Chain A
């Protein structure tokens, strides 16, 4: 069964350090999403890609966060420098692009980030 892959599964870092997360969506899925889930809250969209283009990054803290999907397949989310408040689960999801239709999002297992 096709799955969204994410690595690493767990990351511990010190504040002010740089961290990077990787996501490989389900083959053929044009749309890729990065979410952040803080403990006790629901996932919050950080950035959405359609192929290699950013569709929505309105909630991405652009002073420290960056995301890219250079070839329209896998994606990297970077934080530099990391802050204590960045401790969270970072989830990647992908979906087929269906304009005005249902596009169920499939989630990866997530990367749990702890900033010390």
Chain B
């Protein structure tokens, strides 16, 4: 049972335009959400996160939006740059002492010139 879903396996965006990556979840107990970026042959690196008490969190070019009623979050990258080309994973957790992350399957973003 896939509790965190990223239905778009790939996305291609032109440099300078907006990239929107989507993520859906089914477990209403999730209360903290994270986005990780992964380059080939490297481990995932933390990008941005959002608590369920918020609906938006912004960090430079990256903004994450959370719609709890729809169990949906999205990552916006504006403007997109070639260095943003990577696989992006959405992850969710239930806050607690054993804060296990449940990851989505990832979306490969390609930013073209």
Contacts and interface: CB of A to CB of B under 8 A. Distances in A.
Q: Do A and B bind each other?
A: yes
Interface stretch (B11-19, B62-70, B73-81, B98-106): B98-106
- Label chain B's interface by main secondary structure: loop
Interface string A36-48: 0000111111001
Given A42-B4, A42-B89, A56-B98, A107 B45 contact: yes
B46 A104 contact: yes
Contacts of A103: 99
Contacts of A93: 43
B100 A56 contact: yes
Given A48-B98, A100-B95, A42 B43 contact: no
- Label chain A's interface by main secondary structure: loop
Contacts of A50: 97-98
B36 to A, nearest CB: 8
A106 B46 contact: yes
B43 A4 contact: yes
B42 A109 contact: yes
A99 interface: yes
A42 B95 contact: no
A25 interface: no
Contacts of B89: 42-43
Contacts of A91: 43-44
Nearest to B89: A42
A104 B50 CA distance: 12
Interface of A: 4, 40-45, 48, 50, 55-56, 91, 93, 99-110
Query: 8 closest A-B pairs (Cβ-Cβ)?
Result: A42-B103, A107-B43, A55-B98, A107-B44, A43-B103, A104-B46, A108-B43, A42-B105
